[in-house]
Structures are given as C-alpha cells and as structure tokens.
Structure 1
Amino acid sequence: MFEKLQRAFWKALTPDLIAETLEAPTPSLLAADVLSALGGAENLKSQQRVALTRVRVQLQDAGRLDEAALKAAGVAGVMVLSGGVVHLITGL
C-alpha cells in the first residue's frame, strides 16, 4: 500500500517523467538524422525516454558522436556523461 502511495506522490510531483524501462534501440524513438549524428543504429547500446523532452542513450563508441550534426537536426541540448551516456534535450 505504501509503495502505491509513494509512486502516486512522485508521479504528481513529476508528471513529465516516464517509468524507467530500458529498451532495445528502435528507429521510431529517434529521427534518422539524429540517429546518424549519434554514429548510426549500430552505435547505440540502449535508448530510453526519460521525460517528455529528454532521451537518454548509451553509445558503444562516444567518439562517433557529432554534436554539431545533432544541433543541426534540431536537438536543443546535448549533455555527454561518462560511460558513453548522452542526454538529448528534444524540447523546450
């Protein structure tokens, strides 16, 4: 009972968050030009929608990331973290 109440509380505080589930890379989550700027589909280990305006991807090789191409593709912000994890800000 407490867990359900706790989940409802956090959902009310952060309505734009989406449940944390890892997904296999699918072209439908990212546009083709964004996918190519990340080094192609074969460079993705995982991708996950974190919120309505943010996508977290984990790359096989972070050196293949092209931040300028991501900006040109319409990604508002790019945050590169350690371990090949990249956060893409897709909205305002």
Structure 2
Amino acid sequence: MFEKLQQAFWKALTPDLVVETTLTAAVGEAPLAPGVLNALGGADNLKSQQRVALTRVRVQLQDAGRLDEVALKAAGVPAVMVLAGGIVHLITGL
C-alpha cells in the first residue's frame, strides 16, 4: 500500500516522468535478502512477514529456535527485537 501512495505522490509532482505500472510479486517471493532469510531459519520457517514501518519488518516464525541473531547482524540487520509467539521485528534502519 505504501508503494502505491508513494507512486501517486510522485506522479502528482511529476506527471510526465512517472510511468504507471502495476507491482506484482510472485507467490512465495520474499522481500528479504537471502542472508537474512537464511538467518531466520529459511523460507519454510516463515509464517508471515510484513513491513510495518520504513525501518522495521515484522516476521512470524514457525520455530523461533532456528533464529540466528549473529547471522542476522552479519547479513546487515542492525538490531533484532524478539517477541513472544515467534514474532521477530527486524530493525533495518536508524
């Protein structure tokens, strides 16, 4: 939804420069980098994922024990917030 709002904003500012396109993602395609996905325990360990802010991604894991926080930091995630129920917030910016 944010991408659509952002695209509408830029189209309003520069109507002749922004080409209207539809964004479609392949089923099962994760917006997470491969290193981050591996540190979370692999694609089969993800129940859901959702970008909740510009600097935060909320991920729900099948098995929170497969989470490797050291590998997440090595993959470029500055901070990780682990919550109950297999929910993990990946802090991706300042």
Normalising by structure 2, report the TM-score.
0.69
Residues 25 and 60 of structure 1, relative CA distance in 2, 3 Å threshold:
farther
| Residue equivalent to 1:86 | 88
Q: Give every structure 1 segment of 4 or more consecutive aligned residues whose post-TM-superposition deviation is greater than 6 Å.
A: none
Question: SS state of the match for residue 76, structure 2?
Answer: coil
Residues 60 and 50 of structure 1, relative CA distance in 2, 3 Å threshold:
same
After TM superposition, list the pairs within 5 Å mapping 1:7-86 onto structure 2.
Answer: 26-27=29-30, 29-86=31-88
Q: Is the 8 A contact 1:56 1:85 kept in 2?
A: yes
Q: Structure 1, unaligned stretches of length 5 or more?
A: 1-23
Q: Give the CA RMSD over aligned residues.
A: 1.2
Q: Structure 2, unaligned stretches of length 5 or more?
A: 1-26
Report the number of matched residues.
Answer: 68
In structure 2, what is the Cα distance between the partners aligned to 1:81 and 1:25?
24
- Which structure has the larger Rg? 2
